[in-house]
Structure 1
Amino acid sequence: MKRNIILIGTMGSGKSHLGRNLAEAKGWQFVDTDRLLERRYNLPIAQVYEKLGEKLFRAAEREILKKVCLYHESVISVGGNFPIDVRTLRYLQRYAYIVGIRAANYRIVKRVNRRIGKRPTMDYDDVGGFVESMLQVWKPLYRKCDLVIDTTYGRTEDLIDRIHEVIEQDGIVFKKRRPLTGGKRREKSSNSN
């Protein structure tokens, strides 16, 4: 039994776009770990990275991942600034169905160039070269995902249908959120008086 669907992959692969739409289709919440880091530090993600440096940035990202993987019925998009290490990926797989999101080099370059300065680790002087080396580093991680989706040519609706289809074929069941009962709400509010 899983709690969530976690989307991992390189920056510019389309995780946030697909994740928002997948969450809406399922009636689940959407969580973007980069946005959580931005809220925590009250800075854009590139400035969070500058402020913390790579080592502390990765530690902060891991801390957020450990919290969000305990959510229920969430589609979680993990920042693509760094590949997830295998140990973290195994931890996430205990709680979530992992979908690797990838795209062709040229598509990632195009997406990244639309948001110059927004991605903390990107070398904007050689986007093509950076993307190519980033794809090589991510390659072994995609092999460890429960499912890999390529967003290069697919329509969002078709990609979502494919994810639902494979999850159903794999017999994956997701733990439901427990709704708060009216009695529990009243108890909480009466105790706070």
Structure 2
Amino acid sequence: MSSDILSRPIDISKYSLIYASAQKNCGAAGVTIIIIKKEILGKVNRKIPTILDYQVHILNDSMYNTPPVISIFTVNQTLKYIKKLGGLEKIKQLNEEKARLLYAEIDRNKIFKTTVLKKDRSIMNVCFVMEDHYNQLENDFSEYAFQNGIIGIKGHRSVGGFRASIYNAVTIDSVHALIKCMRDFEQLHIH
């Protein structure tokens, strides 16, 4: 759940164990969030390293390492921010709106397209590529976006294209800035 934890309400009763990294929606890298039902503790039928045995941690109320204090502080600040904003339902609405706006632009724009079916689209990572006819403009758009203050949208190395990660910390104004950049780029290249 690393990409979408704290992006929406989740019924944790449906899971025996939730394991999530914090660096996407919760805070800085270095924190792992684990939610575990007590009923599954101690049910491992093979030897596992003590550091991975959550029952040992709980029974001893201890840690085997020095906790990443700044990362934990950041998670705490994020939790306070989400609570102040109105909770996970409000965050969900904001995230859905950011994704809706960005996908609407990709669907409208003549230069870009998504390769993901509507029913499978992520609200956290919006992946898109150039329309086949405009493939040669991919590097130009990357540079244009960079010149307009948009960074970090290069697609995954195995897929290429672009990936706009619109996690909780990304504001709706930032999404509007990317949309404007895409529209302006389209105007420069569609005749």
Coarse TM-score class (shorter-chain normalised): under 0.3
Normalising by structure 1, report the TM-score.
0.25
Larger RCO, structures 1/2 (Cα 8 Å, 6+ apart): 1
In our comparison, the structure showing a higher alpha carbon Rg is: 2
TM-score by length of 2: 0.25
